[in-house]
Copies of this chain bind each other. A is one copy, B any other.
């Protein structure tokens, strides 16, 4: 496998001439050419709750730009920042207004909008967007206090991940692409039980209590940002097994807003129609409970969206590549790129289901957004 799916990625200046049509990468084309449109970083936002696999998502996304994303070299080992040659991922927890002790005094949770320093967040994102470097605070998740600031240079791709990327209008308006990772309560609960009970020895009651205590603020301050996202990845319990609540097999929906600049929604078979597809059958055999896809138009917060949904999980490579080969508009640069990326993180959570699958596709879309705006080309070799 590794031999045939060997992989290398690098960024380089794009050749000059380009047309609008050439912007769309196609499987049959080796190189993508765009016209340079704007200087300064392309800014990507990812909103999600803590403990929902954001770091895996970030690894999937940044690796599509090549190189390895690591904390700033020689810096604070508790830094929340991840830097690669092209990308910088900032964690918005660094813009908390108060530290843990301060929140004890205010009586507010870290989910509360009042506990975020949106002014500083705006100033620093704006500066980075203008090509300047900033001295960003570090919120130390281990100690709960702020450590000395770290210097962040303006990158090619700036990714802001955290609880509130789209809550402040000034920050929200600076994003080139907005993603919301939406884990349903049932799945969050199943995951938390899995982790806190099985791995950390918490009781079922204490887990339930901690989820319920957190929920009102989450619903009030984080959840409403979904409305502003260009793409929402929604993670739900499977519908393939009646009354399943194990949270192991997942139904994942990629909800894609219509008419988003630099983004063409992927589709299944026939763009714009409604389709459900069970790939498992005479040509492809899958184990129980199988895999089911859905594709179709819908509305979300009153706006037109397209939904691509996967229920179930992949058991074998054949299933993954078979599904990939029937999707169009994925922005992959060569046949099997999604499968290759999934294999690269096969031990990470979600690598055999829709979370990893759609995170990978969103990663390809982010890469394309970057290419279209920057006019530069990310070279990916099959």
Residues on A facing B (Cβ under 8 Å): 269-284, 296-297, 326
Q: How far is the CB of A54 from chain B (nearest CB, A)?
A: 32
Q: List 22 A-B contacts (CB under 8 A).
A: A269-B277, A269-B326, A270-B277, A270-B279, A270-B283, A270-B326, A272-B281, A272-B282, A272-B283, A272-B284, A273-B279, A273-B281, A273-B284, A274-B277, A274-B280, A274-B281, A275-B275, A275-B276, A275-B277, A275-B278, A281-B296, A281-B297
- How many subunits of this chain does the assembly comprise? 2
Residue of B nearest to A306 (CB): B282
Contact, CB under 8 Å: A269 / B272? no
A276 partner, pick from B276, B280, B282, beta carbons under 8 A: B276
Q: Is the interface of A mostly helix, strand, loop or mixed?
A: loop
Residue of B nearest to A276 (CB): B276
- Which residues on B sit within 8 Å (CB–CB) of A284? 272-273
A269 partner, pick from B270, B280, B281, beta carbons under 8 A: B270
Q: How far is the CB of A16 from chain B (nearest CB, A)?
A: 35
Q: How far is the CB of A160 from chain B (nearest CB, A)?
A: 32
- Which residues on B sit within 8 Å (CB–CB) of A275? 269, 275-278
A273 partner, pick from B270, B272, B274, B277, beta carbons under 8 A: B277
> 8 shortest A-B CB distances, which residue pairs?
A272-B282, A272-B283, A274-B278, A269-B269, A273-B281, A276-B276, A272-B281, A273-B279
Could you say which of A277, A280, A296 has the most chain B C-beta atoms within 10 Å of its C-beta?
A277
Q: How far is the CB of A286 from chain B (nearest CB, A)?
A: 11
* 10 further interface pairs, Cβ-Cβ under 8 Å (given A272-B283, A272-B284): A269-B269, A269-B275, A270-B279, A271-B282, A273-B277, A273-B279, A273-B284, A275-B277, A281-B297, A282-B297
